[in-house]
Amino acid sequence: MNERGQLTLSSNDIGKRLGVGSHNIRKDLTYLGETGTTGSGYDIKTLKEQISRCLGFDRKRKACIVGLDKTGTAILSNDMFFSKNFDIVAGFDSNINRLETLKIDIPLYPTYDIPVVIRRERIELALLTLSGETAQIVTEKLIDGGIKGIVNFSPVVLSSSDSSVYISNVDIINEFRFLSALFTLDRGEA
């Protein structure tokens, strides 16, 4: 049931919410296989489960964090970065002294162990919170270990040497820039 108490949704309903024609919705949803349509539309519960399975949201993924300075450890100690879909199973840092003194509940390893640990633990995702120059080197190590996706929180734009590895660059300053460009254009300040 959705927030309006409906049990089913028509392709028309979905299209309106997304600003897409109902024909496109019907076409895209055939990709899911059998979606249990009835005269009144798609069964919401079935549709959710099928989309979830199709996008891989029905299984737990292993993740790691690289860079355990203040930002990295703040993220690790913050509930808001945990989710039932992702388990952070390893932390990496190049500072051996830091690894020995940090009080953290997950196994910690030096950066040079990245390829071995990623491969052994079958880790699929990595969060990078490094302060710069080393981010690209670490990225190569992660790719070497077989990582599938990287969320980059470092202030450099990373590129992937392997086109099957996805990288998402998250940068607060860039978000500030983007927003200020929007409101500058909007208000004709320039």
Dist. CA 133–CA 125, nearest whole Å? 21
Pick from 19, 55, 97, 133 the residue near a second copy by CB under 8 A: 55
Give, as ranges, the residues between 140 and 159 that touch a second copy (CB under 8 A): 148-151, 153-155
Asked if 127 interacts with a second copy (CB under 8 A), we say yes
Are the beta carbons of 121 and 99 closer than 8 angstroms? Answer: no
Asked if 161 interacts with a second copy (CB under 8 A), we say no
CA distances from 90 to 8, 22, 30, 69, 111 (A): 42, 44, 39, 15, 11
Q: Which of 12/155 has CB closer to a second copy?
A: 155
Residue 148 identity (one-letter amino acid): K
- Tokens 């979606």, residue? 35
Residue 43: CB minimum distance to a second copy, A: 19
Q: Which of 41/125 has CB closer to a second copy?
A: 125
Contacts with a second copy, 6-25, as mask; x by CB under 8 A: --------------------
Asked if 103 interacts with a second copy (CB under 8 A), we say no
Asked if 132 interacts with a second copy (CB under 8 A), we say yes
Size of the site for a second copy (CB under 8 A): 55
- Based on the number of CB atoms within 10 Å of its own CB, is 62 exposed (0-12), middle (13-18) or buried (19 or more)? middle
Give, as ranges, the residues between 57 and 96 that touch a second copy (CB under 8 A): 57, 61, 63, 69-71, 73-75, 77-83, 85-86
Binding-site ranges for a second copy (CB under 8 A): 53-57, 61, 63, 69-71, 73-75, 77-83, 85-86, 124-125, 127, 131-132, 148-151, 153-155, 164, 166, 168, 170, 172-173, 175-187, 189-190
